[in-house]
Structure 1
Amino acid sequence: MTVSRRRRLAAAALAALLLAGCSSSPAATGSTAGSPATGSSGSPATGSSPVDPGTAGSTSVTSAGPTESAVTSSSTTTPDDGSAPAYVAGLQPEIDRVVAELGIVGGVVLVRSPELGDWSTAFGTRTYRGDDPVTLDDHVRIGSNTKTMTATVILQLVQEGKLKLDDPVSTYRPDVPNGENITIGQLMDMRSGLGNYTTDLALNEEQDANPSRVWMPEELLAMGLAMPPEFAPGQGWFYSNTNYVLLGVIIEQLTGHKVEDEFASRIFQPLGLQGSSMPALADAGIPEPHPQGYTYGTNVGTIDSNELSPEIQAAAADGSLAPFDVTGLNPSWGWTAGGAISTAGDLAVYVKAMVGGGLLSPEVQQERMDSVIPTTDNPDGQKYGYGLGLFPGGFYGHSGELPGFNSFMGYDPATATTVVTWATNAPAPNGKPPAVSLAQVTIGALAG
């Protein structure tokens, strides 16, 4: 591998850090949502109950050489015949370290690299202290990775002449404050200045008290549009889930169809993504097979920071405090900003098409790739920012977090390398996003 390619891969690890803070969870920092967990004292909050710790123990399973297919086979133990790519020797200890440090219950790391070799591993269990191993086929909530799908459909509608990126949002939603000066493109690249409804205290309180509640898009927009603007349109950058709920409403307005149907016909079916779906608003289920999602914090308790108290961190680490199962949380509050479900194999196929081409015309695809407005510079010369529904770096893609689930997908067009990770128990008690942490060490190992 050339020095320049190594630098691109290493730089992407920094990009993953930037992705970490941009989940679709309710609080500004990407905090958790769902069943009440624990208070600052470390004792269960009123009316809540932890999962049954069950029997201690976990199972790690791996597989080598995934094919370029959306449907992955169940993971099996890697044969001890030296067939794993060379980078695995350095990567596996790093994965083990991150799993132990962040208390990951279960997860997946998938790499597809024509130069360095394909490899994937599924580790841990589907339930806390259970004995049912995670597999590569498992379905998980993918949080803000959904935004890339919403943006892709909007760009397809641009191709079809149904709207333009420089159209004012007031054309479609006259109720948006200052909407005549906010463009569709500014919604997509987070430069509208609109407030982020997921930081609303009432939303977080209701999520703690009533995690099964079905939220309608208009309810979410009412919260976001009532917030004071962060800045004048185009004069700054602010990650706001309100932008992407607005885009979802516009998709349904222009197509006359539910977004779940548009995602299926425009993205999932053409790419053969049999494990991917956008659930209907009232659907709180996850297709089988799937792991359970766990978290330790409440929504309100993590509005300012995902990092929990030292007491809770210590209790989680020594096993005296079990996490709370938030698998059944209704994801309608995330909708087109964060409600989709997928598998590691599907995400690998999707992110390659999203970045490398196959879902848009060559002209619109190039416009998307050129859309990133840098927000920071790296000493290596890499620029990071946000474009039309994607983060750039050595790897282009996104991350996502819903309570109990964290995921990352990235594709480097220079090396044709794909990295996908997901993990449960999200965020970790120390506030770190586990899948993004796994992506960092994976990209670091690929960079040598």
Structure 2
Amino acid sequence: MLRTTQGDVSLTYGVTSAGGSTSVSLDNHIRIGSVTKTWTGTVILQLVQEGKLKLEDPVSKYRSDVPNGDNITIEQLLTMRSGIYNYSETYELNKALDTTPQRVWTPEQLVAIALPLPAYFGPGEGFHYSNTNTVLLGLIAEKLDGKGFGQIVRDRILEPLGLKQTSFPAAESSGLPKPFSRGYMYMDNLLTLSTTRLPADLIAKAQDGSLKPNDYTNANPSWTWAAGQGVSTAGDLMTLAEGLTDGKLLKPDLQKKRMDSLAPIDPDNPGAARYGMALAQFGPLYGHTGELPGYNTFMGRDPQNDVTLVVWTNLAPSPDGRDPASTIAKAIIGDLYGTAPTGPATR
């Protein structure tokens, strides 16, 4: 779905289930994965502007169990520069996702996996995308706002923007609101730790239809919590992208600080992908991508030229290891601007 000053263009392709006949539609609900992080980051920034915490606060002020927490700031959690280990990269979690896909995880269980593991680097000394950062931020938001995270999101993000087809489901919920598209992946979670690309012979079988993907639609997403549990539609994601970048959720000074926070994830390569306070940059577009087994989402907006783009797919990753929605989005952006952007991996 593309919106420019010349109007809206939308295109759907394929069906909602393998072997089915129901065409994909713009009102299909899908899991948006790490796009959820933009909600969590916005909530934290709203709490900052309400004076309930500061970006420079050490995480130890709110969580005494975080190693080196006296030297890790709230801002470093937001920008993925804390060095805290990503629980999503552990054998323990991925094995559990494969063997008990309906398991309901609590955020404290997720944090407990990560905190005993060694840091990637010292606070502020590098960039590493870590779901642990965002889960910690969600727990801090609950502590300061005195509500469950789902209610916080409804009060602070969904209702103000009028996102009626968007939700943060209960942890026990493994279903999707109707209508929805089923989500598929050829691999299992453990395999994706080493590579998301199938061997050449299996790619050929996937392409000719002799290898069937696995259905991950109803795998419980609670293992992502504030880092990826959201559900939405293409239309609502368009509204979300505009709300995030056009300052509809933050006061002007903090909105500017957020937009200015984007920095190269590789400081030795100024042209590299950029990430800031729970916001990524893809060339001239600002937004986020998201991936859960079976679903890939791209959401981006160029506020200067009034361009908004949302792409989602119900297969992720593709047999050749690419993120299909991001790959499609890059091609569209390349056609619009004459160059295809890079972007950080945001599973």
TM-score (structure 1 length as normaliser): 0.73
SS in 2 for 1:118: strand
Match of 1:124 among 14, 25, 35: 14
Shift of 1:352: 0.9
**What does residue 180 of structure 2 align with?**
290
Query: Does 2:312 match 1:389?
Result: no
Whole-angstrom CA distance in 2 between matches of 1:214 and 1:208 = 13
SS in 1 for 2:33: coil
Between 1 and 2, higher relative CO (CA 8 Å, sep ≥ 6) is seen in: 1
Q: Percent identity?
A: 50
Q: Residue 10 of structure 2 aligns to which amino acid in structure 1?
A: S
Contact residue 264 and residue 271 of structure 2 kept, 8 A: no
Shift of 1:445: 2.2
Shift of 1:311: 2.4
Q: What is the correspondence of 1:197-236 to structure 2 with a 5 Å cutoff?
A: 197-236=87-126
Whole-angstrom CA distance in 2 between matches of 1:158 and 1:205 = 37
**What does residue 305 of structure 2 align with?**
415
Query: Does 2:172 match 1:272?
Result: no
SS in 1 for 2:311: strand
**What does residue 342 of structure 2 align with?**
none
Whole-angstrom CA distance in 1 between matches of 2:337 and 2:53 = 41
SS in 1 for 2:196: coil
Shift of 1:198: 0.5
Q: What is the correspondence of 1:348-427 to structure 2 with a 5 Å cutoff?
A: 348-376=238-266, 384-392=273-281, 393-427=283-317
Shift of 1:382: 5.5
Query: Does 2:34 match 1:113?
Result: no
Match of 1:155 among 45, 66, 73: 45
Q: Where do 5+ consecutive residues of structure 2 fail to align? A: 339-347
**What does residue 263 of structure 1 align with?**
153
Shift of 1:312: 1.9
**What does residue 177 of structure 1 align with?**
67
Q: Residue 241 of structure 1 aligns to which amino acid in structure 2?
A: N
Q: Residue 163 of structure 2 aligns to which amino acid in structure 1?
A: L
RMSD, aligned CA = 1.5
Whole-angstrom CA distance in 2 between matches of 1:245 and 1:286 = 22
Which deviations, in whole Å up to 9, do the C-alpha atoms of 1:234-270 show, x marking residues without a partner?
1111111100000011111111111111111111111
Whole-angstrom CA distance in 2 between matches of 1:447 and 1:300 = 38
Contact residue 394 and residue 412 of structure 1 kept, 8 A: yes
Whole-angstrom CA distance in 1 between matches of 2:217 and 2:266 = 36
Whole-angstrom CA distance in 1 between matches of 2:272 and 2:248 = 25
Whole-angstrom CA distance in 2 between matches of 1:312 and 1:166 = 49
Whole-angstrom CA distance in 2 between matches of 1:328 and 1:374 = 36
Match of 1:142 among 32, 37, 49: 32
Aligned length in residues: 337
> In structure 2, do the counterparts of structure 1 residues 330 and 302 end up closer, same or farther at CA, with 3 Å as the change threshold?
same
Contact residue 127 and residue 266 of structure 2 kept, 8 A: no
Whole-angstrom CA distance in 2 between matches of 1:135 and 1:252 = 35
Whole-angstrom CA distance in 2 between matches of 1:136 and 1:363 = 35
Whose Rg is larger?
Answer: 1
Q: Residue 388 of structure 1 aligns to which amino acid in structure 2?
A: M
**What does residue 346 of structure 1 align with?**
236
Whole-angstrom CA distance in 2 between matches of 1:440 and 1:154 = 29
Whole-angstrom CA distance in 2 between matches of 1:268 and 1:223 = 30
Shift of 1:447: 2.5
Contact residue 409 and residue 420 of structure 1 kept, 8 A: yes
Q: Residue 3 of structure 2 aligns to which amino acid in structure 1?
A: R
Which deviations, in whole Å up to 9, do the C-alpha atoms of 1:283-333 show, x marking residues without a partner?
111111001000110111221111112222111111111111110000000
Contact residue 404 and residue 424 of structure 1 kept, 8 A: yes
**What does residue 217 of structure 2 align with?**
327
**What does residue 82 of structure 2 align with?**
192
Whole-angstrom CA distance in 2 between matches of 1:298 and 1:416 = 39
Q: Where do 5+ consecutive residues of structure 1 fail to align? A: 1-109
Q: Residue 238 of structure 2 aligns to which amino acid in structure 1?
A: A
Shift of 1:376: 4.8
Query: Does 2:325 match 1:439?
Result: no
SS in 2 for 1:317: helix
Contact residue 302 and residue 308 of structure 1 kept, 8 A: no
